[in-house]
A = this chain, B = another copy of it.
Amino acid sequence: MRVFGEIEGIAVGTEFASRAELAASGIHKPIQTGISGSESNGADSIVISGGYADDEDYGDYIVYMGQGGNDPVTKLQIADQELTRGNLALVVSYIRGLPVRVTRGLRSRHRTYRYDGLYLVERWWAEISRSGHKIFRYALRQINEKAVSTPSGELPLPTGSQEPDRVKSYTTRVVRDTAVAEMVKKIHTYQCQVCTELIQRPGGAYAEGAHIRPLGRPHNGPDTADNILCLCPNCHVLFSGWAFSIEDDGSFIGGMSGTLVEHEEHAVSRDHIAYHRRCYQRVIT
């Protein structure tokens, strides 16, 4: 079974003497390939080893190149890369927000490997390599900034060698999904239960899991399928921002017309709907 996230018992910073040892730990199972993953479930780990000249390593931010199309001996790009296998798996991780374990090959005399923690695929794109072939690239950012990692090499990065000139920004919205939410989204094949919109992009569809009765204090809504809706980002923003709510018969009230799309494999709790409706009514009256 493919494990996303931390591997129990393996701390960030753990070193391995070989790819075989790294594979045995469960951190990165393939012995040869840099990307571990599947097209349907996403990528769970990568190794950045300096084998590709186009990788860029800024410590907490990595620009990683996709796989394929290069000569195994010279490492030169001799053909286009394709959006399949590991390359597609990293796009799936991007779409679903799955954490990717990053291991660095260290430039010591006898090459060793160090597990450097979890990263998120922040963006992906395609470009033309110096040799004129199409390659895929992925920008990954470290999830937990407390665990500062350094690029391949024995010494920590000097201050100032991190990604330069990062623009000052506010976080306006963070979308978090749980394993149960992912299941609900699959049942609805990522189609919005409110407006029926399907956000289809290269690599796959996108939707968000919206907890009807919010998680966390003081609402303490449960992380169960009957408390989750599969929504497009727009309807999610409207639903969590009290622009509309839902009657027990599924019809919308407030600034939205229509009726909730329901699926026989996914029962939506009327108690949780009523909780949302009460909050909504108090906000607007």
Residues of A with Cβ closer than 8 Å to B?
A: 4, 56, 58, 61, 63, 83, 95-99, 120, 122-123, 125-128, 134, 137, 139, 143, 145-146, 163-164, 166-179, 197, 199-203, 206, 208, 214-218, 223, 232-234, 236-238, 240-243, 255, 279, 282-285
Residue of B168, B174, B206, B283 near A174 (CB, 8 A) is B174
In whole angstroms, how far apart are the Cα atoms of A16 and B97 in the complex? 41
Q: Which residues of B contact A174 (CB under 8 A)?
A: 122, 171, 173-175
CB of B169 within 8 A of CB of A58, answer no
Give A173 to B199 CA distance when docked, in angstroms. Answer: 14
CB neighbours of A173 from chain B (8 A): 97, 173-175, 208, 233
Query: Of B146, B179, B202, B241, which one neighbours A242 at CB under 8 angstroms?
Result: B202
Residues of B within 8 A of A96 (CB): 170, 172
- Asked if A169 and B163 make an inter-chain contact with CB atoms under 8 angstroms apart, the answer reads no
Give which listed residue, B97, B145, B215, B243, contacts A172 with CB less than 8 A. B97
Q: Please name all residues of chain B whose beta carbon is closer than 8 Å to the beta carbon of A206 when the two chains form the complex.
A: 237, 241
Q: Among A146, A173, A217, A218, which residue has the most Cβ atoms of chain B within 10 A?
A: A173
B residues in contact with A169, CB < 8 Å: 176-178
Smallest beta-carbon distance A28→chain B, Å: 19
Q: In whole angstroms, how far apart are the Cα atoms of A277 and B232 in the complex?
A: 25
Query: Which chain B residue has the least Cβ–Cβ distance from A169?
Result: B176
Cβ 8 A contact of A279, one of B127, B171, B283 = B127
Q: Which of A137, A255, A282, A285 has the most CB of B within 10 A?
A: A282
User: What would be 27 A-B contacts, judged by CB atoms less than 8 Å apart?
Assistant: A4-B170, A83-B283, A96-B170, A97-B170, A97-B173, A125-B279, A127-B279, A127-B282, A128-B282, A139-B214, A139-B217, A145-B146, A167-B178, A170-B176, A173-B173, A174-B174, A174-B175, A197-B234, A199-B234, A199-B243, A201-B237, A201-B238, A202-B242, A202-B243, A203-B241, A232-B233, A232-B234
Q: Note all chain B residues with C-beta closer than 8 A to A83.
A: 283
